[in-house]
Amino acid sequence: MSEPLYALTIHEAAELLRRREITSLELTESVLHRIQETEPHLNAFITITADLALAQARQADERLERGEAHPLTGVPAAIKDIICTKGVRTTCGSHMLENYIPPYDATAIERLRRVGMVMVGKTNMDEFAMGSSGENSAFGPTHNPWDLERVPGGSSSGSAAAVAAQQCIYSLGSDTGGSIRQPAALCGVVGLKPTYGRVSRYGLVAFASSLDQIGPITKDVRDAALVLGVIAGHDPLDSTSAPVAVPDYTAALVPDLKGVRVGVPKEYLGEGLDKGSREAVMAAIGVLQELGAEIDWEVSLPTTPYALACYYIIAPSEASANLARYDGVKYGFSYTEGASMWENMEKTRQYGFGMEVKRRIMLGAYALSAGYYDAYYLKALRVRTLICREFEAAFQSHDVLVTPVSPTPAFRLGEKVHDPLQMYLSDIFTIPINIAGLPAISVPCGFSQGLPVGLQIIGRPFEEATVLRVAYAYEQATPWHNRRPPL
């Protein structure tokens, strides 16, 4: 083979493993060597699980020898450090959970283990998934493999950077307001946010429970379909998990788009969109048309400008409730030097949480307070309903909608860290999709200022197959998914 083993996709590795031309142990050793080589530059991992990965690789090879092959069997993965892994610490990028070792696996992890997953580590992230740049981690920022002076996007910063830098074959992230798609776009890889309820949230440490969703970050669209096929499905341990059948997503991957109706919302191409990003997205829409798609430029989602404000009331409100459990008593970091229980609780939160987490807890507590609940939280819920209805109306006459993922390519580390509003605006094109609970994918569509740009493809609820079909057809017609950073 001309390329190193760590450069393989899931489906390429699966074929070589099935034919026994390589072993999972060889593949895992190649990935671990790549991590050792590149990690000092990236800081994409919080915990590297080399011994566990090698043991799982040996077990996978035994399964493969018995002919018990699944496409993910023996393929090295990295897991965002907000997804619980039994016996392996899960920090959420926070000092609050720095030494927390879960006694159970998240459902998504359990399903990956069933097919012979190899886990090489837990990836760096914005603390408790609160951030758009990867700079809010208690363990230091992750760097973008395309330019080490720039952010990789957040909050699944380590998961996206690790896939782009080929430190793993695929990864899992979580998406509350764009935290899979935005870093995938900024790092030039594929990131899929499934429909809310498609993938169990059991074992996903909660940020905003009505918005959070686990999804894959991969090198290409076929790999995303393979991973989703394993982790999707109803879970009785999650009351928000939908009892909807899981199709064979790979069956939807065809290279033409004849008859597919594509809408382009006007509000996503307006002021604030970087010139190079706009050109890349417009060129991508042209490719979709060449592939047979019917393009409608007259779609309007007029409530879109209010989505950001809506999100930054709902998400912090849910966060303030979810993070109340970190009181220094039950588990996690505990300050014990105070003169009273109340002082200990106060100091636990003061030292355990970072600045962005404190900011959002305070925002949420304020919005939920007795004097402001109707004025802020209740109003945000009404706006959420309007956003959902507008998407429903748009999907009456369109199969998918396409938009940019991020208004700009990756910005410099430190550029927006002291301006929360500018940082929050980074998610302006991804947040409405979480508010409406829809599936969406980011697929590489070009470059601006020498940095990757992502195309967002949005679908109807539980129609991930259609989203994947459009993404795959576009990907196969363009070279962008084959580009790798020079790291």
CB count in 10 Å sphere of residue 242: 19
Report CA-CA distances (Å) from 90 to 53, 80, 224: 16, 9, 24
HSE-up (13 A, CA, CB side) for residue 58: 5
Report CA-CA distances (Å) from 206 to 194, 209, 295, 318, 479: 17, 6, 38, 9, 37
Please enumerate in sequence order all residues whose Cβ is within 8 A of that of 24, keeping only pairs 6 or more positions apart, or say none: 17, 57, 58, 60, 61, 64, 73, 74, 75, 116, 118
CB count in 10 Å sphere of residue 418: 8
Q: Name the residues annotated as catalytic.
A: 80, 155, 179
Query: What single letter denotes the amino acid at residue 50?
Result: A
Please enumerate in sequence order all residues whose Cβ is within 8 A of that of 427, keeping only pairs 6 or more positions apart, or say none: 132, 177, 178, 182, 308, 311
With b for 16 or more beta-carbon neighbours within 10 A and e for fewer, the 7-18 pattern comes to bbbbbbbbebbe
The residue among 125, 218, 124, 123 whose CA lies nearest residue 170 is 218
Give the Cα separation of 203 and 107 in Å (integer): 6
